[in-house]
Amino acid sequence: MIDLDTEICVCNGLSVKDIAQCIKENDLKSLEDVLESKTCQIGDKCESCHHDGYNNDGLNIPMVLSMVRQKLV
Protein backbone atom coordinates (compact mmCIF):
# COMPACT_ATOMS: atom_id res chain seq x y z
CA MET A 1 0.00 0.00 0.00
CA ILE A 2 1.15 3.52 -0.75
CA ASP A 3 1.92 5.85 2.15
CA LEU A 4 -0.89 8.43 2.16
CA ASP A 5 1.60 11.15 3.11
CA THR A 6 3.59 10.64 -0.12
CA GLU A 7 3.75 13.89 -2.08
CA ILE A 8 2.21 13.51 -5.52
CA CYS A 9 1.86 17.14 -6.59
CA VAL A 10 5.26 18.34 -5.40
CA CYS A 11 4.89 21.84 -6.84
CA ASN A 12 1.87 22.45 -4.61
CA GLY A 13 3.04 20.26 -1.72
CA LEU A 14 0.02 17.93 -1.96
CA SER A 15 0.08 14.36 -0.73
CA VAL A 16 -2.08 11.39 -1.70
CA LYS A 17 -4.29 12.19 1.29
CA ASP A 18 -4.66 15.88 0.32
CA ILE A 19 -5.56 15.11 -3.28
CA ALA A 20 -7.99 12.35 -2.31
CA GLN A 21 -9.74 14.64 0.16
CA CYS A 22 -10.17 17.34 -2.50
CA ILE A 23 -11.47 14.81 -5.04
CA LYS A 24 -14.04 13.51 -2.54
CA GLU A 25 -15.15 16.90 -1.22
CA ASN A 26 -15.68 18.30 -4.72
CA ASP A 27 -17.06 15.10 -6.28
CA LEU A 28 -14.46 15.19 -9.07
CA LYS A 29 -14.87 12.30 -11.49
CA SER A 30 -12.10 12.62 -14.08
CA LEU A 31 -8.55 13.86 -14.46
CA GLU A 32 -9.91 16.81 -16.43
CA ASP A 33 -12.24 17.70 -13.53
CA VAL A 34 -9.29 17.60 -11.12
CA LEU A 35 -7.03 19.73 -13.31
CA GLU A 36 -9.76 22.28 -14.10
CA SER A 37 -10.97 22.60 -10.50
CA LYS A 38 -10.81 26.16 -9.19
CA THR A 39 -11.09 25.06 -5.56
CA CYS A 40 -8.22 22.55 -5.71
CA GLN A 41 -4.87 23.74 -7.00
CA ILE A 42 -3.63 20.36 -8.21
CA GLY A 43 -1.28 19.84 -11.13
CA ASP A 44 -1.42 23.44 -12.28
CA LYS A 45 2.31 24.26 -12.22
CA CYS A 46 4.03 21.38 -13.95
CA GLU A 47 2.79 18.22 -15.59
CA SER A 48 4.96 15.53 -14.04
CA CYS A 49 2.17 14.61 -11.60
CA HIS A 50 -0.21 14.05 -14.53
CA HIS A 51 1.80 11.20 -16.05
CA ASP A 52 5.01 9.62 -14.76
CA GLY A 53 5.18 11.19 -11.31
CA TYR A 54 7.61 13.78 -9.99
CA ASN A 55 10.30 11.17 -9.36
CA ASN A 56 9.38 9.19 -12.49
CA ASP A 57 7.91 6.61 -10.13
CA GLY A 58 4.40 6.34 -11.56
CA LEU A 59 2.80 7.91 -8.48
CA ASN A 60 0.46 10.42 -10.08
CA ILE A 61 -2.94 12.13 -9.95
CA PRO A 62 -4.73 9.47 -12.06
CA MET A 63 -3.53 6.85 -9.56
CA VAL A 64 -5.05 8.82 -6.66
CA LEU A 65 -8.28 9.29 -8.63
CA SER A 66 -8.42 5.53 -9.18
CA MET A 67 -7.78 4.88 -5.48
CA VAL A 68 -10.69 7.18 -4.57
CA ARG A 69 -13.00 5.38 -7.03
CA GLN A 70 -12.03 2.04 -5.50
CA LYS A 71 -12.53 3.50 -2.00
CA LEU A 72 -8.94 2.72 -1.04
CA VAL A 73 -8.49 6.21 0.43
Domains of the chain by residue range: 7-69
Give the model's pLDDT for residue 10. Answer: 93
**Above 90 in pLDDT, residue 3?**
yes
C-alpha distances (whole Å) from 53 to each of 22, 31, 62 are 19, 14, 10
pLDDT digits (tens, 9 = 90+) for 39-56: 999 999 988 999 999 888
How far apart are the C-alpha atoms of 17 and 8, rounded to whole Å?
10
- Residue 68 in this model has a pLDDT that exceeds 90: yes
pTM of the complete model: 0.91
Section 17-26 average pLDDT: 97
pLDDT of 49:
92
How many other β-carbons are positioned within 10 Å of the β-carbon of residue 24? 12
